[in-house]
Amino acid sequence: MRHVLGFLVGVVVTAVLLFGGGWAVQQATAHAAVPDAVEGARLWIALGAMAGVGLVFGVVAATRISPMAAFVPSMTLLSWTVVYALDMDRALSLIPDDPSMHELLRQAGEGQRVLLTTGVLAMLGVALFVPVLLPSRWVREEPDDDEEEDYDEDDYGAAGPRYG
């Protein structure tokens, strides 16, 4: 059950990395191209979105939710990078850029293009794949009963460790 939940978390993390990260990169690069005091708030929002994506990335890479939570986005990012290396036109055709799509989705697609062509998606994919290789992540950690200390309520009037 833990790995099914991890799979679902992985699908959500993949969407956050691709669309949240893509949108944030597009907004930041658009602001860098034409710096404007009025658009300064958009830059801060984009940087906040990047920080949020980084937080989600760090939580998935570092915690023991399930290795599937890191495996799903890593395979998505790495496979897209491999497709880009083998057939650039096919990989770029997977990016949403149709005029009939929602504006935010097209902006995220422009940022995904930047992340894909610069190799950032490959780097993120490898960083998410490394924790999957650790065997300890695949096994649930069971608490040991032998390591619990014996407590005696008679000592000091409260529960405390028994010495001897």
104 versus 156: the higher-pLDDT residue is: 104
- Specify if 146 maps to a domain: no
- Specify if 149 maps to a domain: no
Beta bridge partners of 37: none
Identify whether the C-beta of residue 50 lies closer than 8 Å to the C-beta of residue 28: yes
Provide the residue range defining the domain that includes 46: 2-137
What is the structure's pLDDT at 158? Answer: 58
DSSP code of 161? E
User: What pLDDT, in 10s, does the model give residues 11-62?
Assistant: 999 999 999 999 999 888 887 777 665 567 788 888 899 999 999 999 998 8
What is the structure's pLDDT at 51? Answer: 94
Which amino acid type is present at position 155? D
What is the structure's pLDDT at 66? Answer: 86
Number of domains in the chain: 1
In whole angstroms, give the CA distance from residue 55 to residue 45. 15
- Specify if 163 maps to a domain: no
- Specify if 162 maps to a domain: no
- Specify if 144 maps to a domain: no
User: What pLDDT, in 10s, does the model give residues 72-109?
Assistant: 999 999 999 999 999 999 998 988 888 888 888 888 88
- Specify if 156 maps to a domain: no
- Specify if 95 maps to a domain: yes
| CA dihedral sign of residues 94, 3, 65, 127 | negative
What is the structure's pLDDT at 149? Answer: 55
- Specify if 63 maps to a domain: yes
